[in-house]
Amino acid sequence: MPRTTDILLTGIAPAIWGSTYIVTTEFLPQGYPLTAAMLRALPAGLLLLIIVRRLPEPALWARILVLGALNFSVFWSLLFLAAYRLPGGVAATLGALQPLMVIFLARAALNRPILPVSVIAAVAGVGGVSLLVLTSKAALEPWGMVAALAGALSMAAGTVLSRKWQPPVSALTFTAWQLTAGGALLLPVAFWAEPALPKLSTENLLGFVYLGAIGAALTYVLWFRGVRNLEPAALSTLGFLSPVSAVLLGWIFLDQNLSVLQLIGFGVVLASIWLSQRPHVPFWKGPPLPAR
């Protein structure tokens, strides 16, 4: 399949993830971040397991648990923690550092060269996201910043290791295993740390179904397909589409205004995504790493 198709299909995932904020705030009961994350991951993973009807080989269980934790349990928990402690703009900007982390983790774990275009695109993307979401009233709370950076590192590591540990199975099967593992790890934590959910309304149920079926099952099948087919640095910059989508949805559905700086941010983000897909010669390959 042409590379352009791979990019477009993979980009659908972060574009849909941008709807998570509006769905969470408008449809879900507030104050249950871990429970919401668990209900987003576990039912979706079990549904996909029923479809694929295949469990990982015992030798893969440890790796699947690590990937499920990095991509879902740890990442989503830290994401919610950062969202509670920081303004959304600060959390999104710190999270946008993930592509830079991927570049250096891919060098260490996959022996990928560091490309100047990838670094430039990643830095430009961070700048574009900051123009999109940062405000003059943004506050910096230390533990919130730690959570945001740790969450970005968790997903960056999950992205790279998903490429490194990719088993010979379909993206659908790989997604089913990771979502189930991530949701299962969240289950006892959510049960211990949060009270029971109140009686759910129709809107609450629709929100959970959307986040599980569309925001988790569908999007992560597309994402892990991209992990298999695209270079990690090019893949990770597609994540910039998430804040772009979130701002657009806020403008369309929540009557939020768009400033000139935000419009410039849109352009910078889209340019950085385009730039990251260009093949260039590495400016630093470093000493060859041993084969893994």
The 10s digit of each residue's pLDDT in 199-253 is: 999 999 999 999 999 999 999 999 999 999 999 989 999 999 988 888 888 888 8
Please state, for a pLDDT cut of 90, what percent of the chain lies above it: 63
Q: Measure the CA–CA gap between 264 and 97, rounded to whole angstroms.
A: 19
Over the stretch 136-151, which tens digit does the pLDDT of each residue have?
A: 565 668 888 898 899 9
pLDDT at 136: 59
For residue 280, pLDDT over 60 is answered with no
For residue 285, pLDDT over 50 is answered with no
Over the stretch 43-97, which tens digit does the pLDDT of each residue have?
A: 999 999 999 999 999 999 999 999 999 999 999 888 877 777 776 667 777 888 9
pLDDT at 279: 57
Q: Measure the CA–CA gap between 102 and 107, rounded to whole angstroms.
A: 8
Q: Alpha carbon 130 to chain centroid distance?
A: 17
Encoded amino acid at 11, one letter: G
pLDDT at 292: 42
Model confidence, pTM: 0.88
For residue 281, pLDDT over 50 is answered with no
Q: Measure the CA–CA gap between 85 and 7, rounded to whole angstroms.
A: 33
pLDDT at 133: 82
CB atoms within 10 A of CB 101: 20
Name the pLDDT band for 289 (thresholds 50, 70, 90). very low
Lowest mean pLDDT among 94-108, 197-211, 272-286: 272-286
Lowest mean pLDDT among 72-86, 173-187, 272-286: 272-286
pLDDT at 26: 87
* 53 and 256 Cβ atoms separated by less than 8 Å: no
Q: Where are the alpha helices (DSSP H) in the chain?
A: 3-17, 20-27, 33-52, 61-68, 74-85, 88-95, 98-110, 116-133, 142-164, 171-193, 202-209, 219-229, 232-237, 241-253, 260-276
